[in-house]
Amino acid sequence: MPDMTSNTPDRSRTRFPGISSRAYEHPADRSALVALRSLSGFDTVLKRLAGLFSERAIRLMFLGGSVRAGETQFRNINDMVRDSAYILDLPEVPELYVVQDPVPNAMAIGTDHPFIVLNTGLVDLLDDEELRFVVAHEVGHVLSGHAVYRTMALILTSLGARLAWLPFGNIAISAILMGLNEWQRKSELSADRAGLLAGQDVEAGKRALMKMAGGGKLTEMDAEAFREQAREYDEAGDVRDGLLKFLNLLTRSHPYAVVRFVELDHWATDGGYQRILAGDYERRDDDSGASVSDEIKNAAKAYRDSWNRSSDPFIGVVKGAAEGAVNVGEKIFSRFGRPGDDRNRDA
């Protein structure tokens, strides 16, 4: 077990110099980010929207009302942040704040200098390696730039609440939030992969997800039974259950724990995780050449693979229509994805 009280980064784990977030991102998440960043003027619009949200004010709120991890406060967790940033080669180590809240939760927010917030409920719930997975999960959000887009979702949620008194005032914002929630659910799968890359302990990641679903009595839970539960959730009862699952997810920012458990386990065993550990991964220096059309194709393939693995009757019913929509999307991006037009600008 590495010494978590040392002042030097943990070098017992494989490090990934220059790794691009594209290396571990879920294809649907990656294609959305590449497409967004390739839009002319998107950064300008994002910055103007972020102007409605004072990162300075919210940081001051946590500075005044929580505990900032450092050399003399929550040093163990502070070391986890530094180690995760070192392993994932994040240029700037994010600040981390621990806030008194019994609900197990964590988030990465901010635009210019994103920071991480951990609730005490999560700190108390997890052991060191499980907590490392969660901390690295949040560092992965920062490396992917997710904190910026999650901040956007917070802004839109706030605007929707302010406009709720107007007839149809928040309908458009609600529609945008539904789209952002779909993206964010995929971004959580990406961040779980980052958590695994930095922690390099598959079982700890799975334990953390189980605990977040059922609490700290791990002796009362079983990984295989949890996997069977995930299988039952996927198969559902009939088309009605599949539709209900779809409706239940519309307002959720995170996938259900059983889904995350299976997705993480699948990625850990399907070759993707091992490939990166072996040093075969996309580099940050090549991000400017990322192709929108290629990423859309990768996302389409990921969705098809997911549909083929699923036993959900509802997926079977809508699969034909969804496949048609994916094919149309691929054709559109192939038509407009001319060389020089579909590259991803650094964001």
CB atoms near residue 225 (< 10 Å): 10
pLDDT digits (tens, 9 = 90+) for 39-80: 555 555 555 655 555 677 788 999 999 999 999 999 999 999
Q: Is residue 224 classed as helix, strand or coil in its secondary structure?
A: helix
In this predicted structure, what is the pLDDT of residue 162?
55
| pLDDT, tens digit, 9 for 90 and up, residues 204-214 | 999 999 999 99
Q: Which of 16-30, 164-178, 188-202, 234-248 has the lowest mean pLDDT?
A: 164-178
- If you average pLDDT over residues 224-252, what whole number do you get? 76
Per-residue pLDDT, 252: 75
pLDDT band with cut points at 50, 70 and 90 for residue 1: very low
Does the structure show a pLDDT above 50 at 2? no
User: What is the percent of the chain with per-residue pLDDT over 90, rounded to a whole number?
Assistant: 46
Q: Which residues contact 279 (CB under 8 A, 6 or more apart)?
A: 16
Terminal alpha carbon distance of the chain? 37
- What is the share, in percent, of the chain residues with pLDDT greater than 70? 59
Question: Is 295 a residue of the active site?
Answer: no
Structure confidence at residue 243 (pLDDT):
67
Least confident range from 37-41, 244-248, 260-264, 266-270: namely 37-41
Which position has the higher pLDDT, 171 or 114?
Answer: 114
> Across-strand partners of 107?
117
Lowest mean pLDDT among 19-28, 61-70, 211-220, 242-251: 242-251
Instruction: Decide: helix, strand or coil at residue 163.
Output: helix
DSSP-derived 3-state class of residue 159: helix
Whole-angstrom distance, CA of residue 247 vs CA of residue 252: 10
Catalytic residue among 25, 55, 138, 282: 138
**pLDDT (tens digit, 9 = 90+) per residue, 135-188?**
999 999 999 888 766 666 666 666 555 555 555 555 555 655 666 667 778 889
Q: Does the pLDDT value for residue 320 go beyond 50?
A: no
Using DSSP, state whether 244 is helix, strand or coil.
helix
The yes-or-no verdict on residue 9 having pLDDT over 50 is yes
Q: In terms of residues, how long is the chain?
A: 347
Q: What is the pLDDT of residue 222?
A: 96
Q: What is the pLDDT of residue 110?
A: 82
Per-residue pLDDT tens over the stretch 275-309: 999 999 999 998 877 665 665 565 555 555 554 55
**φ, ψ for residue 80 (rounded to 5)?**
-65, -40
